[in-house]
């Protein structure tokens, strides 16, 4: 009825909508007063070099647009994620380290260092759960969970030729209390 893309979109939407219900919307609070900050958004990622069947080192870059909420209000934000994957392929990505800089429309900023990731592929749906900590700015010292869901934009046969160039995914980010 929905097709694979419809199922992935529905799954991602349910995850994002359900988890966003527990977040309070963003304000100006000190680090001690900050509770959970939740962001939902969309990312466009690129792999350099493109992912192929054989694993190799790859640089991953993603630009993300977020809507974040905490402390009674919401604010738009943008994110820039970078990672060096030592052994990435069309089938799997090793490691989970990387950094993300989030710039909030109200002038705030968070620098996040990710140190672990779990990657799952279920019937073509990609799910990546990353964990890390805010190392600078808003939420400094707080743990972070980032969940990425989506379908590949390119055909799997691209793995045999030019490789997968990138992806378009839904992202959920939570800076935990």
pLDDT digits (tens, 9 = 90+) for 26-40: 444 433 345 688 999
Domain spans, the chain: 3-23+35-175
- pLDDT of the residue at 90: 78
pLDDT confidence of 94, banded at 50, 70, 90? low
Distance, in Å, from the CA atom of 17 to the CA atom of 30, rounded to the nearest integer, reads 27
Residues in the chain: 177
Q: What is the pLDDT of residues 15-24, one digit of tens each?
A: 443 344 333 3
- Which carries the bigger pLDDT value, residue 87 or residue 44? 44
How far apart CA 113 and CA 18 sit, in angstroms, is: 25
The pLDDT score that the predictor gives to residue 71 is 76
> Residue 7 has what pLDDT?
40
First CA to last CA distance, the chain: 40
Distance CA 68, CA 16 (A): 12
CB of 79 closer than 8 Å to CB of 100: yes
pLDDT on residue 161 = 85
Q: Which residue is associated with the tokens 């590949």?
A: 152
């Amino acid at each position: 009825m929905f097709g694979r893309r419809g199922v992935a979109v529905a799954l991602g939407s349910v995850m994002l909508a359900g988890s966003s219900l527990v977040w309070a919307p963003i304000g100006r609070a000190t680090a001690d007063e900050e509770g959970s900050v939740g962001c939902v958004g969309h990312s466009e990622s690129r792999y350099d070099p493109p992912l192929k069947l054989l694993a190799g080192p790859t640089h991953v870059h993603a630009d993300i647009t977020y809507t974040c909420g905490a402390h009674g209000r919401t604010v738009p934000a943008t994110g820039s994620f970078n990672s060096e994957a030592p052994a990435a392929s069309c089938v799997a990505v090793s490691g989970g380290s990387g950094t993300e800089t989030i710039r909030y429309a109200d002038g705030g900023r968070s620098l996040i260092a990710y140190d672990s990731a779990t990657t799952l592929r279920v019937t073509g749906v990609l799910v990546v759960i990353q964990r890390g900590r805010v190392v600078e700015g808003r939420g400094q010292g707080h743990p972070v969970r980032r969940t990425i869901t989506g379908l590949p934009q390119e055909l799997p046969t691209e793995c045999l030729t030019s490789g997968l160039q990138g992806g378009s995914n839904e992202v959920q980010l939570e800076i935990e209390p």
